[in-house]
Structure formats: C-alpha cells, structure tokens
Amino acid sequence: MNHRGSCHCGKVRYSVELELETVMACNCSMCGRTGTLLTFVPEAAFTLLQGEADLRDYQFNHKNIHHLFCTTCGVKSFARGTGPDGAKMVAINARCLEGVDISTLPVQHYDGASVQ
C-alpha cells in the first residue's frame, strides 16, 4: 500500500510502499524523547518527493542511522540506515503518515536504551 508522509510544516514530503501492520516504540535516548513510532522499509520502497535541501542529518552513538530532520519545523519524519543484513533501509515515523490512525496499530517495544 502506498502512503504519503511529511514533516509538520510540509517542506519535507515522501511516498512509501508498506503494509503497516505494527509499529515499534524504541526507548533509546532519541526515540524515547521524541515519541517516535517506527516501521522499516527497504530503501527502494521510499521516495523523497520534496525537501532534500531542507533536511539536516544528526547521528549519535554508533552513527549507523542518519536521523534526518526538517530545518524549519524540526520534525524527524524518517531516517536512513542499514539493516542487520547490511541492506539499506529507511525508518519511517508512522506518526508522520497521512491518514493513519496509529492508535489502531499494535506496538512492539524495543529496548534500544540497552544497546551499546
């Protein structure tokens, strides 16, 4: 299913092909503070429609994930990284998807705070 997503101000917009069946709530220092609910897709399933110049990259810890945020509104609607198998992936913040009622999705909890 094709979904559209964006940051708060709309400067960053994207399209993503995914079956949204569950989301992940991570308690790492980044996700725990921002309340991000994640789902993951291969890089080929993601298309940035606009806003490349409006994104800034933030990395921490092992610097495996590029936490991209809009320079105008500060919202992190997606991140880029590499999955456990080495394939490029995109982490989608389900809270930024249009028309998705996240209260209906099962939440899988991940203890990212314990990952060193």
Sorted by where each begins, the domain ranges of the chain are: 2-108
User: Of all residues in the chain, what percent carry a pLDDT higher than 90?
Assistant: 78
Q: What is the dihedral of CA 43, 46, 52, 57, to 10 degrees?
A: -50
pLDDT tens figures, 8-67: 999 999 999 999 999 999 998 888 899 999 999 999 999 999 999 999 999 887 778 899
Give the CATH number of domain 2-108; options: 1.10.150.530, 2.170.150.70, 3.30.420.40, 2.40.70.10: 2.170.150.70
How far apart, in Å, do the first and last CA atoms of the chain sit?
35
Are 110 and 103 in contact, with CB atoms under 8 Å apart? Answer: no
- Kind of pairing, strands 107-110 and 23-26? parallel
For residues 96 and 87, give the distance between their C-alpha atoms in angstroms, rounded to a whole number. 24
If you average pLDDT over residues 90-100, what whole number do you get? 97
Strand partners, 93: 38
Sequence-distant (≥ 6) Cβ neighbours of residue 112 within 8 angstroms: 26, 27, 28, 31, 32
Other Cβ atoms less than 10 A from the Cβ of 107: the count is 13
Closest CA to 96 of 3, 2, 33, 1: 3
pLDDT for 89 beyond 80: yes
